[in-house]
Amino acid sequence: MLSVRAVKYLKYILFSRHRKGFGIHSPFVFDLVSRVFRNKTDPGIVLLVENIRKRQISDKTRIEVLDLGSGSLALKGSLKRVCDITKYSAVPPAYGKLLYRMAQEFGGPGIVEFGTSTGISTMYLAAASPDAQVITLEGCPALSALAARNFSSIGLANIVQIKGDFDDSLRELRKRSVQPGLVFIDGNHRREATVRYFREMADMSGDETVIIVDDIHLSAEMEEAWKEILNSGNVSVSIDIFRMGMVFFRKGMSRFDYVIRY
| Domain boundaries of the chain, sorted by first residue | 4-44+91-259
Identify the CATH number of the domain defined by range 4-44+91-259: 3.40.50.150
CA distances (Å), origin 231, targets 182, 191, 199, 237: 20, 14, 11, 11
Cα(151)–Cα(159) distance, integer angstroms: 8
pLDDT by residue for the chain (262 residues), tens only, comes to: 457 777 787 878 776 766 555 567 788 999 999 899 989 999 999 999 999 999 999 999 999 987 755 544 455 568 999 999 999 999 999 999 999 999 999 998 899 999 999 999 999 999 999 999 999 999 999 999 999 999 999 999 999 999 999 999 999 999 999 999 999 999 888 999 999 999 999 999 999 999 999 999 999 999 999 999 999 888 999 999 999 999 999 988 888 999 998 8
What is the length of the chain?
262
Cα(235)–Cα(248) distance, integer angstroms: 6
